[in-house]
A and B are shown apart, each in its own frame.
Chain A
Amino acid sequence: MGEVSPGGWEDKAARGLAFLRRRLNGEYEVDDFGFDPDLNDHVLMNVLRPLYEKYFRVGVSGIENVPAEGGALIVANHSGTVPVDALMTQVALLDHHPARRHLRMLAADLVFTLPFVGELSRKMGHTLACNPDAERLLRGGEVVAVFPEGFKGVGKPFSQRYRLQRFGRGGFVSAALRTGVPIIPVSIVGAEEIYPKIADLKPLARLMGLPYFPITPTFPLLGPLGLVPLPTKWHIAFGEPIPTSGYEPGAADDPMLVFDLTDRVRETIQDTLYRLLLQRRSVFF
């Protein structure tokens, strides 16, 4: 009879049983936004982790730019036809940040109208992309991520890859200014090639109430097999924080300042993307 080392299977089984008991009794906490850290950390992230580590082999740099505590606003490029990039950034921050921080994503309203998707999204800590929610989270000291390109970014054609789309009205900048949290520009390389969208069936998209209906070389040609993303090699670069706390009160309502900061964030992400692309050996390795 050998001794059971800590972290051995008995430990794991005990932890698993404790988790099951908590779930069945409802003895876990969710916050006002519906974030369920117990489920997120113990189940949902475990599902995504193989995708992150084995499939996309995500490399991370500059994660120390995210503060260990207090609010911060992560602004990243959005791509890939299906927003997998957001989920991978969430795994990166939980697994590789020394403080194991949870990323609170601001998602499009479409997400919350869909059954299952909306439910899961809230349990993962995401909420609707609107200023009241963003500011409430930032004031509460959370790391919030926003993808200002929105559907223009996720749904852009393959030919437009790594070209940042328009950055909306800069609502994210005013949210950061109002709460005085730093903006961290994040550039994601690799996500833009997972589903090369070569055409868009607009009438079908309209019929289904979707922003676009993608045609890729494999979808819908190969049916469900076409849903498998290409195994590209990813890199997520967290950039230098841009401070927003030095401005006078009311700065959030100054459109010139908001536009300036928006442009600065956008250019930083775009420049980093081009630099990372030059360093990349191949799309897949």
Chain B
Amino acid sequence: MLVIGADGLLGRFVVEALRAHGSVRFVAGADGADASGSPAIARLIADADPDTVVHLGLEPRPSKAGGRAAMKERNVIGTMQVLAACSRAPGLHRLVVKSSGAVYGCAPRDPALFAEDTPPHQPPTSGYGKDVAEAEGYVRGFARRRPDVAVSVLRFAPFAGPGVASPLLDYLTMPVVPTVLGYDPRLQFVHIDDAVRAMVLAAVGAHPGTYNVAADGALLLSQITRRLGRPTFPVVSFGAGFFGGLIRRAGVTDFTPDQVALVRYGRVLDTARIKARLGWEPRYTTAQALRAHAEAVGLTPVVPGWTKGY
């Protein structure tokens, strides 16, 4: 079993969980950055001839990948290289890909919940969402070429929980949270432990298909800021660029246009399919996942008396 992108938090936890899982004989991890450009990953797959490949290499943060161009390279070209190597691995039976709910984009004209087969009203045209959509396209192509391989794609809600760092969480924990005036989006998270369990379930059993992975329940942005004890500062939006720039200047460097759309229109995933087919049940609701996160980072409410904390 080979885990690509084992250097990230999810990767480390997944490798650990797979090692702890009795039925897995050998788990190898590879750096996410290896996937892009270098032939190392192709050689690794050819040498190891793994039974299962878990691809966690998709990187949502431009700063971590070394800029937007490098991020796209790593996400799209990297995925293509992994798939190319996989298509030549004769012993491969399973491919599990970590994807993201970002693939649905967010628009006011979308249904309240995204199911796996909901066509997005406005497919993402830039940033991480577009990378993910393109990577998923190549994965579907691979699944057609190699019908003998069970390909599972897991679309995750944003992570929360101990150790998780993301621009969205940085934004929500700013001392004063700027919001887009007139919008109160529904946000949903998934606890990192629940995400790891979903990854492991997909990796050790053959469950071809696409699955949404998210905690139960949604919270409104206003509700999150109140629970975290953060005052909000509604901003008249002169386009996404203005709002995004404001947040980036305030220190959340990776607050991309996707995220601006998310905190304006929100996104909730329907998780009926993964619950029915993989038997996965989240142990944390969205509210509990956020609470666990706030406790782990030791967040103190900015507005005393407004809230007990979280």
Contact = CB atoms under 8 A, between A and B. Distances in A.
A25 B223 CA distance: 8
B87 interface: no
B113 A132 contact: yes
A94 B224 CA distance: 28
Contact of B182 (A25, A119, A122, A130): A119
Given A116-B182, A119-B183, A33 B226 contact: no
Contacts of B217: 29, 32
Given A115-B183, A119-B183, A28 B112 contact: no
A25 B209 CA distance: 40
A30 to B, nearest CB: 6
A282 interface: no
A127 B112 contact: yes
Contact of A30 (B113, B180, B182, B220): B220
Contacts of B108: 109, 112-113, 118
B110 interface: yes
Interface in B110-127: 110-113, 115, 118
A24 interface: yes
A140 to B, nearest CB: 11
Contacts of A113: 108-109
B219 interface: yes
B56 interface: no
B186 interface: yes
A25 B109 contact: no
B218 interface: yes
Interface string A140-174: 00000000000000000000000000000000000
B222 interface: yes
B111 A128 contact: yes
A117 to B, nearest CB: 8
A133 interface: yes
A34 B220 contact: yes
Contacts of A29: 217
A132 B218 contact: no
Nearest to B268: A32
> Per DSSP, are chain B's interface residues mostly helix, strand or loop, or mixed?
loop
A127 B222 CA distance: 19
Interface residues of A, number: 29
Contact of B218 (A30, A119, A128): A30
Contacts of B225: 26
Interface string A19-47: 00001111111111110100000000000
A42 to B, nearest CB: 15
A26 B183 contact: no
B49 interface: no
B183 A128 contact: no
Interface string B223-249: 111110000000000000000000000
B307 interface: yes
B47 to A, nearest CB: 46
B226 A25 contact: yes
A24 B113 contact: no
A26 B268 contact: no
A132 B111 contact: yes
Contact of B220 (A25, A36, A130, A132): A36
A197 B113 CA distance: 36
A136 interface: yes
Contacts of B181: 115
B224 A25 contact: no
A264 to B, nearest CB: 28
B118 A132 contact: yes
A32 B108 CA distance: 15
Given A30-B219, A34-B218, A128 B112 contact: yes
A118 B220 contact: no
B111 A133 contact: yes
Contacts of A132: 111, 113, 115, 118
A26 B183 CA distance: 17
Contacts of B180: 115
A267 to B, nearest CB: 30
A139 B13 CA distance: 37
Interface in B249-268: 266, 268
A284 B110 CA distance: 40
Contacts of B110: 128
Given A112-B108, A132-B118, A28 B186 contact: no
Contacts of A24: 226, 306-307
B186 A30 contact: yes
Interface of A: 23-34, 36, 109, 112-116, 118-119, 122-123, 127-128, 130, 132-133, 136
